[in-house]
């Protein structure tokens, strides 16, 4: 079978809490391990030639979690971004963030902007971290931006330029770990024709082999985009 490498893979990294609980550890330990896995999967994607990797790190709904968990998640992100700065450049990772910025601590917000600028010339892979991201929020912000620019008659192409993933091809493959089969307000607009792949493996146990299994499955899909395929 011919293996088709998706240009853009999006991942809902789920199951950190359950994974930790299963080992009798606090939920945050699952998030620590999850961050390491995100790094390993980024490297695997670079090796495979994936061009865009979008990772759902924190949703607009995740603010409803206990304050301690929310704080620890943002501490983890801050520490990770600080300590991985050089690695990102060495690996050729261009880092981008999608989601709201207005509810994020100013120091972290500045770090995010700095890293986007600092890595903007890297071109082996673009890693897009979705932080305080919601698909509906993305669409509403886009509508408001378009209105503010005085645009009253939009088509799909013009509208999509206002979305957070402007200029990025739609995901070819969406992976969700930990057995849940829902989109949970991830990229609602951009997933219109994305192939969906679900696995029961929790994110902290996700490996390059699991990634390859998902890509193999993707390679067998017949993408039709509404057309009739000539058999």
* Site membership for Mg ion, residue 164 (CB under 5 A): no
Residue 64 CB, nearest approach to ligand IPE (Å): 9
Residue 186 CB, nearest approach to ligand IPE (Å): 7
One-character DSSP codes across the chain: -PPPPPSEEEEE---HHHHHHHTT--HHHHHHHHHHHHHHHHHHHHHHT--EEEEEEEETTGGGS-HHHHHHHHHHHHHHHHHTHHHHHHHTEEEEEES--TTS-HHHHHHHHHHHHHTTT--SEEEEEEEEE-HHHHHHHHHHHHHHTT--S--HHHHHTTSTTTTSPPPSEEEE-TT--S-TTSSTTTTTTPEEEE-SS-GGG--HHHHHHHHHHHHH----TTSPPP-
Q: Which residue's CB comes closest to ligand IPE?
A: 17
Convert residues 8-47 into a mask of x (bound to Mg ion by CB under 5 A) and - (unbound).
------x---------------------------------
Would you say 206 or 218 has its CB closer to ligand IPE? Answer: 206
Q: Which residue's CB comes closest to Mg ion?
A: 14
Residue of 16, 62, 155, 190 marked catalytic: 62
Residue 185: active-site member: no
> Which of ligand IPE, Mg ion, none interacts with 131 (beta carbon under 5 to 8 A by kind)?
none
Residue 138 CB, nearest approach to ligand IPE (Å): 14
Q: Which residues are catalytic?
A: 14, 62
């Amino acid at each position: 079978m011919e293996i088709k490498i998706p240009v853009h893979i999006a991942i809902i990294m789920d199951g950190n809490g359950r994974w930790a609980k299963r080992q009798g550890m606090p939920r945050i330990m699952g998030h620590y391990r999850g961050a390491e896995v995100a790094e390993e999967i980024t490297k695997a994607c670079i090796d495979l030639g994936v061009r865009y990797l979008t990772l759902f790190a924190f949703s607009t709904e995740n603010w409803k979690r206990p304050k301690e968990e929310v704080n620890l998640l943002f501490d983890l992100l801050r520490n990770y971004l600080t300590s991985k700065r050089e690695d990102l450049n060495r690996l050729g990772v261009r880092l981008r963030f999608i989601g709201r910025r207005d509810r994020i601590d100013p120091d972290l917000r500045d770090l995010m902007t700095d890293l986007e600028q600092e890595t903007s010339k890297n071109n082996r892979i673009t890693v897009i971290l979705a932080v305080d991201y919601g698909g509906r929020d993305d669409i509403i912000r886009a509508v408001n931006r378009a209105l503010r620019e005085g645009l009253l008659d939009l088509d799909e192409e013009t509208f999509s330029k206002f979305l957070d993933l402007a200029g990025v091809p739609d995901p070819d493959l969406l992976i969700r770990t930990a057995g849940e089969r829902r989109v949970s307000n991830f990229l609602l607009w951009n997933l219109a024709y994305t192939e969906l792949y679900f696995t029961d493996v929790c994110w902290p146990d996700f490996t390059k082999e699991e990634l390859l299994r998902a890509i193999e499955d993707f390679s067998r899909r017949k993408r039709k985009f509404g057309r009739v395929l000539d058999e």
